[in-house]
Amino acid sequence: MDSLSDGEPVIRVQQSGPLNGTVRVAGAKNSVLKIMAASLLWPGRYTLRNVPRIADVRWMGELLERMGATTTQEGDVLTIDVPEEMTPEAPYDLVERMRASIVVLGPLLARFGEARVSVPGGDDFGHRPIDMHLRGLEEMGVSFTTSHGYIEGRVERLLGTKVLLEFPSVGATENLLMAAVTAKGTTVIDNAAREPEIADLADFLNAMGAEVQGAGTSTITVHGVERLHPAEHTVISDRIEAATYLVGLGLAGGEATIDGARPDHMEMLVEKLTDMGMRITATADGLWAAAPARLRSVDLSTLPYPGLATDYKPLLVALLTTADGVGIVTENVFAGRFRYVDELVRMGADIRAEGHHAVVRGVEVLSGAPVRAPDIRAGAALVVAGLAAEGETLVSAAHHVDRGYQDLVGNLARLGARVELVAGT
Ligand code: UD1
């Protein structure tokens, strides 16, 4: 392990399957982070349920605490106490660690008329600009200046207006939605992102007394209100986590019940996995799925919701590595999301990736190897790929996986996978 881990956690995976059993998915990371940011809009005590115990939630909690809030998580219940007096600033060390911190910009401007947020840098997804966030907020009356690596926004009173997004950006839609809740007049966000996490955020805002209509569609209308109040909310379940178990099943074969999963949030994925030969049906509290020993290849294209989520892509590329035939994968949301491909190739996968495309030729079996997790979902993809790899796969930098999964290793083991967390040296 020595040179591999360098003190980081490592996940050891051995060829496994067929899987069998039941797992439960946790709340959606990409929902709860935005809902936590939305609590900044009004002082008081908030209670959130179905909150995953993951690093990103702790970091967002830390960000709220630096501004003056108090957060406590017990089990899956997160309590946030938002005070009257706060420091509306997101410092460099936290934004650099977690890019999603940018979503505090909208709520801070709405509540305090000012915000100071470190400019997010690039990450393994490539360059991720925030121009659409800023342009939309400017259209609502905010003036921005940038100095010493920070964006500073100021506004007397946010004004409702019509904002047309150039691309249905998830983060820009969320920032504008939160800014609009207490703006003067009506805001219409057109070409809005339609992800289920946005509808969940709108449900939370409405529980706070906001008047948001159309979230989950391309046109969101927000009638600004004068007052809000704290709220309680149960976060929707994580569709990417559910997808991870489905893909694990596809790679190892077998059958499993995934409690808490929302098949209505994963329709395109279910359709693709069914095309590949899996059987998936809704249950009273989630879904049941079965996979044959070998799946068929299909072509895949990522798109904003309701298209196939870009966050599923590393998992699906891993799934194609052992499917029968050739699959072409096209990335339409982010520029540089193929880093994990080199790691899969080290495990014996036959993948040619260039620009936005990857051509995956299925091989009979992968070959276990030491690999490194580049980010949350790609890390999880390498772990499940290990289920279909002869011998042992050691996934280092496994702390990336903890950012988004409460207990990936435990849940896969619950399904009978031979996987364990090995402490780094
Ligand atoms: C969110 C998710 C991420 C997911 C992504 C797309 C969170 C914490 N993260 O990220 O897991 O992969 O949605 O489903 O919820 N863009 C611009 N200018 C902007 C904003 C975005 O050019 O101002 C571009 C991005 O570079 C990217 C595309 O728009 O190419 C989509 O990005 P966006 O939907 O904003 O993703 P995030 O909200 O950052």
Residue 278 and residue 223 share a domain: no
Atom 33 of ligand 1: nearest residue by CA position: 169
Strand 89-90, strand 70-74: pairing? unpaired
Using the atom order of ligand 1, give the atom closest to the CA of residue 310: 12
Q: At what angle do helices 29-38 and 105-112 cross, to 10 degrees?
A: 10
| Residue 305 identity (one-letter amino acid) | Y
Centroid of ligand 1 to alpha carbon of 308 (angstroms): 14
- Mutate-to-test residue for ligand 1 from 99, 169, 201, highest number of ligand atoms within 8 A of CB: 169
Could you tell me the CATH number of the domain that includes residue 106? 3.65.10.10
Q: How far is 267 from 367, CA to CA, in rounded Å?
A: 32
Residue 1 has what pLDDT? 37
Residue 188 and residue 104 share a domain: yes
From residue 338, alpha-carbon distances to 11, 103, 122, 317, 366 in Å are 21, 26, 15, 9, 18
Residue 255 and residue 207 share a domain: no
* DSSP category for residue 141: T
Contacts of 129 (CB under 8 A, 6+ apart): none
- Mutate-to-test residue for ligand 1 from 333, 356, 377, highest number of ligand atoms within 8 A of CB: 333
Residue 6 has what pLDDT? 58
309: helix, strand or coil: coil
Residue 158 and residue 88 share a domain: yes
- Per the structure, the complete domain to which residue 204 belongs is given by 29-234
Atom 38 of ligand 1: nearest residue by CA position: 171
Last residue of one domain, picked from the residues 205, 234, 263:
234
Catalytic residue among 123, 259, 275, 299: 123
Centroid of ligand 1 to alpha carbon of 196 (angstroms): 14
Instruction: State how many domains the chain has.
Output: 2
Residue 8 has what pLDDT? 83
- pLDDT mean values, one per 10 residues, the chain (425 residues): 61 97 98 98 98 96 98 98 97 92 97 95 66 97 95 97 98 98 98 98 98 98 98 98 98 98 98 98 98 97 97 97 97 81 97 94 97 94 98 95 94 98 74
Nearest one of 64, 69, 2 to 37, comparing CA atoms: 64
Residue 348 and residue 244 share a domain: yes
Whole-prediction pTM: 0.96
Longest Cα separation, the chain: 63
Q: Can you read off the two tokens belonging to residue 180?
A: 């609009």
Query: In the Cβ-directed half-sphere of 215, how many Cα atoms lie within 13 Å?
Result: 27
Centroid of ligand 1 to alpha carbon of 169 (angstroms): 5
- Do residues 335 and 122 make contact, with C-beta atoms less than 8 angstroms apart? no
Atom 22 of ligand 1: nearest residue by CA position: 129
Residue 4 has what pLDDT? 47
Residue 355 has what pLDDT? 87
Atom 19 of ligand 1: nearest residue by CA position: 130
359: helix, strand or coil: strand
- Ligand 1 residue neighbourhood (C-beta within 6 Å): 30, 33, 100, 128-133, 167, 169-172, 193, 309-311, 333-334
| Residue 10 identity (one-letter amino acid) | V
Omega prior to 263 cis, within 30 of 0: no
Q: How far is 10 from 266, CA to CA, in rounded Å?
A: 30
The verdict on whether 123 is a catalytic residue reads: yes
Residue 66 and residue 191 share a domain: yes
Residue 183 and residue 91 share a domain: yes
